Amino acid sequence: MNRQDMMECLFHLYEKKMYAVACAILRNKGQAEDAVQEAFIRSIGYLEYINDPEDQKTAYLMLRLIRSAAIDIYRKNRRNRELRSGTEILCRRNGETDYETAENRQWIRSVLADMTPKEREIVQLHSYMGFSFVEVGKLLGISESAAAKRFERAKKHFIRKGGIHND
């Protein structure tokens, strides 16, 4: 059986089962579809080791691949949620109400003025313009993790200035 026929066979045998596993892990149909696609892409590297698509070892391999792909997406979602929650902190100081907004903006401007240009740039792109760390990284020519790290440093700058607490 050639590689293309093998992939088609694997897809017909395991696609629905893999989708069910991914849905159970991710609880999101679109991301589950992405996980299935990623798992099939990963399976290409194992085609030479698959003799029988219906074999128990092949079924176990496909299960491992989908679980791995779905868990990777789940972890990425969790990281993104944690990073976004840090953004909200920079937009307010603890305990402030709406009528204190003007004072808050002035305080933020003064803290931004004390930051390094790199920290200020990250805060502006991420907090004010709403770019994700992936987008910020692409704009600045750095990795997503480097953008997130710079944002963490900027957040610590705000904490040192006494305006927010590190919850």
Sequence-distant (≥ 6) Cβ neighbours of residue 86 within 8 angstroms: 151, 152, 155
Distance CA 7, CA 123 (A): 46
CATH number of 91-160: 1.10.10.10
User: In sequence order, what are the residues at sequence separation of 6 or more whose Cβ sits closer than 8 angstroms to the Cβ of residue 31?
Assistant: 22, 70, 73, 77
Q: Which tens digits make up the pLDDT trace of 91-145?
A: 544 454 444 566 667 777 788 888 888 888 888 788 777 778 888 888 888 999 9
Query: Can you give the pTM of this predicted structure?
Result: 0.52
**Domain spans of the chain?**
3-80, 91-160
**pLDDT one-digit tens code per residue, 7-50:** 999 999 999 999 999 999 898 999 999 999 999 999 999 999 99
The domain defined by 3-80 folds into Rna Polymerase Sigma Factor; Chain: A (1.10.1740)
